[in-house]
Amino acid sequence: MTLIDEHAHAWTPGEARARFRSGVSGATAGTAAGHTQANLISVPADWAYDMLLFCQRNPKPCPVLDVTDAGSWTTPLAADADLRTDLPRYRVWEHGELVAEPTDVADVWRDDLVSFLIGCSFTFEWALTGAGVPMRHIEQGRNVSMYVTSRRCRPAGRLRGPMVVSMRPVPPEQLAAAIRESSLLPAVHGSPVHCGDPSGLGIADLSRPDFGDPVDAEPGDIPVFWACGVTPQAAVMASRPPFAITHAPGQMFVTDARDEQYRVA
């Protein structure tokens, strides 16, 4: 899958959401530069406590930016947005099985859905870019590479599953900046969970990501792994709640919030 549009970085968040509402889809890495992107997971109210506790117990993959009231499709993170239509593409799940990947979910929405907006690593890419760290996937016009790992999340109620990570190849001379800058953004995954040998996370082959696109590394690049907001989606696959809606990996909700506001210092 390619990025949505070569000019997407200059869109305002509202322009981006309007395009997605009209049916445009694609990976949002770099879209509406400087504005916070979020993962979406909507579950029936009966599962909301388990999901919120799962997020609290696994804050690196699941940093919660907002939780809606049951049935609501609005969020203070984007005043005029409709969570049912304003993402590029969704995934609809029944009993842990993917049943559809539509560009809006108004027709399958339920009054008992509680929606979780979870921090996305696209949010710290501005900080890494500003510190001189190249973003290989954006340079190559691709979605970031994501992998299911052998690390288990701490379970919560009925929810369990593996941690999912995103990977960016980083030149050794920029490794310190990449770690430092992402550490200052704990609300959007924070510091990496692993650097170097992918087998440490049970990843056999970097060229075959579980989600997103393969990304070409330059000679000498070190693979750096950050906890990823697709993790709740993996928990849905593993734990099989009767119904759930998520974003499609890499096709995020673009908020009006500014990335800087999540920086701790």
Minimum CB distance to a copy of itself, residue 217 (Å)? 26
User: Least distance (Å) from a copy of itself to the CB of residue 262?
Assistant: 10
d(CA 49, CA 67): 11
Least distance between a copy of itself and beta carbon 265 (Å): 4
Nearer to a copy of itself, 157 or 242 (CB): 157
Q: Which residue number, 187 or 237, has a Cβ lying nearer to a copy of itself?
A: 187
CB of 146 to a copy of itself, least distance (A): 24
- What's the distance, CA 187 to chain centroid? 12
Nearest distance in Å: CB 73, a copy of itself:
17
Query: Which residue, 55 or 203, has its beta carbon nearer to a copy of itself?
Result: 55
Q: 37-56: string of b/e by CB count within 10 Å (b at 16+)?
A: bbbbbbbbeebbebbbebbe
CB nearer a copy of itself, residue 190 or residue 223 = 190
Inter-axis angle of helices 48-57 and 231-239, nearest 10: 130
Sequence-distant contacts of 69-72: CB under 8 A, at least 24 apart: 69/114, 70/45, 70/111, 70/112, 70/113, 70/114, 71/110, 71/111, 71/112, 71/113, 72/115
**Is 114 or 245 the residue whose CB approaches a copy of itself more closely?**
114
> How far apart (Å, rounded) are the C-alpha atoms in residues 185 and 141?
25
Whichever of 10 and 79 has its CB closer to a copy of itself, that residue is: 79
List the structure tokens of 94. 């029944």
Residues lying near a copy of itself in the complex (CB under 8 A): 48-49, 52-53, 55-57, 64, 67, 180, 183-184, 186-187, 190-191, 264-265
Cα–Cα distance, 176 to 23 (Å, whole number): 40
Give the closest residue to 185 by CA, choosing from 115, 120, 251: 120
Q: Are 188 and 208 in contact, with CB atoms under 8 Å apart? A: no
CB of 52 vs a copy of itself, minimal distance in Å: 5
> Crossing angle for the helix pair 122-130 and 175-183, nearest 10 degrees?
130
Comparing CB distances to a copy of itself, the nearer of 11 and 47 is 47
β-strand pairing of 194-195 with 222-227? antiparallel
Q: Please state the closest distance from residue 66 (CB atom) to a copy of itself, in A.
A: 8
